[in-house]
Structure 1
Amino acid sequence: MPVSSILDVIGNVPMVILRRMSSGKVFAKAEFLNPGGSIKDRVAKFILDKAVEEGRLRPGMVVIEATSGNTGIGLCLAGVQSGFAVVCVMPDNVSEERKRIIEALGGETILIPAKENLSGCVKKMQEMAKLEPDKYFVVNQFQNPDNTRAHYLQTGPEIWQDTGGEIDIFVAGIGSGGTLQGVGQYLKDQKPEIKIAAVEPRNATSLLGREPGLHQIQGIGDGFVPEVLDVGLIDMVFSVSDKDAIDTTRRLAREEGLLVGTSSGANIFAALQMDNGKNRIVTVLPDRAERYFSTALL
C-alpha cells in the first residue's frame, strides 16, 4: 500500500484482546505500532498541522517541547517532514534509547535533573521561549487543547468503532492528560455510563494529592495535574507500584507477545483489577519495549 508520507500511517492501529492474561474482556489499542513507536505520534502531527494551518508555526521557527521522550519523538517525526527543527527538554533519567531516537531524527535534547520532574522541563522551555519568542513555537502538551482534541477526534472514535460501542470501562495513564481527557470525553459523550479509570504511579499520584517522587513508569506521573485534564471526568484512580507495572509489562511480552513499555504494564495492571469476566474494559498500549532495553525495566 503506497503512502505519500510515513505520517499517513499514524492511527487506526489494531485493538488486541488479551486472551491469556484476562477473561477475554480486556481490550488494548496497540498504539506502539504507530511509526514513531507511540501514541504521541497522533498528538504531535495534529498539533503541528493545526499550528501551521493557523499561522502560529511558520517557516524558520523551531519547535520546542518539554517531554519524557515520546512526544519529542513524534514531533521530530512530524517536524522532519515539514522542515522544522525540534528541541526537546527532558528529565535526565529518561531511557538512553529515547534520547538517541530523538537525535537520530535530527532533534536536539536538553536534559534537566530528574528530581525537578517534568515541571522543571516546562519551566526551562518557557524560559527559552521568553528569551526568543519569535524563534520558538511552544507545544506545551500539558496546556495545549489540541492535545486532547487529537484524541477526541481520532483515537476516541476509533475505539468506539473497534468495539461497536460495547465498552464499560476505559483505562488510561495520566502523563500529559491528553489520552484520558480526549478519549474519555468522547466515549462519555457517546455513552454517559462508561466509567473512566485514571492510572498513576504510586510514587507520583497527583490526583490523590501526594507529593511527587521518583518512579520507573516512564511516560506518566509527571508530578502535577495537567491543565488539559478535567478531573471531574474521572470515576476512579489506580495508583500502581513500579513492581506491578514492570511485572505486568514482562507478562505482556511472555504471555501475549506484546513488546511494550511500562506505562502499558501499568494500564493493564489496573485493567486486570477490574476484570470480572463481565465488564468490557478498554485501554491503550502507549509505546514500544525497544526504548527501554538499556534499563532494568524489561
Structure 2
Amino acid sequence: DRPAFFMIKDGEIKNKLNENQNIIVEPTSGNTGIALAAMGRSRGYRVILTMPESMSEERKKILKFFGAELILTPADQGMKGAINKALEIVNETKGYMPNQFSNPANPYSHEVTTGPEIIKQMDYSLDAFVAGVGTGGTITGVARALKKAFSECVRIVAIEPSNSPVISGSNPGKHKIQGIGAGFIPDNLDLNLVDEIMQINDEEAIEMTKRLAKDEGLFVGISSGANIAAAIKLSDRMGKGRRIVTIAPDSGDKYMSLL
C-alpha cells in the first residue's frame, strides 16, 4: 500500500494525474495493483491494470472488486507481457503509468517508513534483513535506511525463485512464488546494497506457508513463506543470538486456489 500511495501522490505533485489526466495504467502481479486500484478509485481515477493470466483467481477477483479494469496477458510472456500491454494502453489513453519497477517513489516509500519502523521496533539492534525481490522497492528502500543506521554491520539478503534465478545471472523460468521473480532485474533493485542472493524453490515456499498456518496460526502468502524459509536458513547459518528481520507482504487468502 505504501508504494502505491507514494507513486499516486508523486503523479499528482508532478501534475501527471489531475482532473483532465485521470487514468492510471499499471502492469501488476497483484499486491501493488490491488493498492493502486483501492487508492486510485477512491481518489476518483480510472484504473486499468494488466496482469499475466497465470496469477491466482483470488487476486483477479479482488482487483475487479475494487473497480479496476483488468486485462490479462499470456502466461508464457510473464510480467514483460503485462508491461508491454500496459505501455500500449498508455499510448492509447495517455494515462499515467506509475511503473512500480522503476519509479523512485517506490523504494523511497520504504526508505522513509518501513526501514525506520524496523529500526525502532528492533530497538536499534539488527544483524540481517531478508526480502524477496519483486519490484525491488522493498529491499532497496529498507536497505538504504538500514545501511545508514548500521553501516556495513547489517547483512542484506535478496530472495529469488530458484526456478527463475535472474538476479543470480541465469535465465528466467516459470515458478509458483507469485509476487517475486518477475523474470528480469528491475531498475529499482540496487544490487550495491545487497550482500547475498539466496534462492528458494517453490516447494520450500509453499511448505513453509502451510507450516506457518498449521503450527503458528499465521496465514501468509507464498512469497511470505519464501521470505521466512530463507530467514530460517540464514539464521541456521549465522548461529544463535542473531537478530534477523523479514517481511510477510500479504495474507494467504489470495492463494487458496494454488495451495
Give secondary structure in 2 for the equivalent of 1:252. Answer: helix
1:274 aligns with 2:234: yes
1:97-154 superposed Cα distances (whole Å, 9 cap, x missing partner): 1010010110011111111111111111112212332xx0101100100000100011
- C-alpha RMSD of the superposition: 1.0
Q: Look up the equivalent residue of 1:188 and give its one-letter code.
A: K
Counterpart of 1:78 (choices 36, 39, 62) is 39
1:286 aligns with 2:255: no
Aligned 8 A contact 2:11 2:98 in 1: no
- The match for 2:206 is 246
Distance 1:115 1:266 in 2: 23
1:229-265 superposed Cα distances (whole Å, 9 cap, x missing partner): 1111110111101000000111111121110100000
1:171-211 superposed Cα distances (whole Å, 9 cap, x missing partner): 00000000000001110111111110000001111111111
Q: TM-score, normalised by structure 2?
A: 0.96
1:44 aligns with 2:7: no
1:161 aligns with 2:120: yes
- The match for 2:196 is 236
1:191 aligns with 2:147: no
- The match for 2:91 is 130
Q: CA deviation at 1:287?
A: 0.6
Distance 1:55 1:70 in 2: 25
Structure 2 residue runs of 5 or longer lacking an equivalent are none
Q: Look up the equivalent residue of 2:241 and give its one-letter code.
A: K
Q: Look up the equivalent residue of 1:229 and give its one-letter code.
A: L
Q: CA deviation at 1:54?
A: 2.7
Q: CA deviation at 1:53?
A: 2.5
Q: CA deviation at 1:50?
A: 2.2
Distance 1:262 1:81 in 2: 28
Q: TM-score, normalised by structure 1?
A: 0.83
Q: CA deviation at 1:267?
A: 0.3
1:51-96 superposed Cα distances (whole Å, 9 cap, x missing partner): 2123121125211111001111000111122111111100001000
Distance 2:129 2:7 in 1: 24
- The match for 1:59 is 19
- The match for 1:35 is none
Q: CA deviation at 1:266?
A: 0.4
Distance 1:285 1:132 in 2: 35
- The match for 2:174 is 214
What is the identity percentage for the equivalent residue pairs of Structure 1 and Structure 2?
43
Structure 1 residue runs of 5 or longer lacking an equivalent are 1-40
Distance 2:33 2:82 in 1: 12
Aligned 8 A contact 2:25 2:86 in 1: yes
Distance 1:165 1:47 in 2: 29
Distance 1:242 1:78 in 2: 31
Distance 2:3 2:92 in 1: 26
Distance 1:132 1:79 in 2: 16
Q: Look up the equivalent residue of 1:96 and give its one-letter code.
A: E
Give secondary structure in 1 for the equivalent of 2:246. Answer: strand
- The match for 1:12 is none
- The match for 1:36 is none
Q: Which has the higher contact order (CA 8 A, sep 6+)?
A: 1
Distance 1:225 1:166 in 2: 30
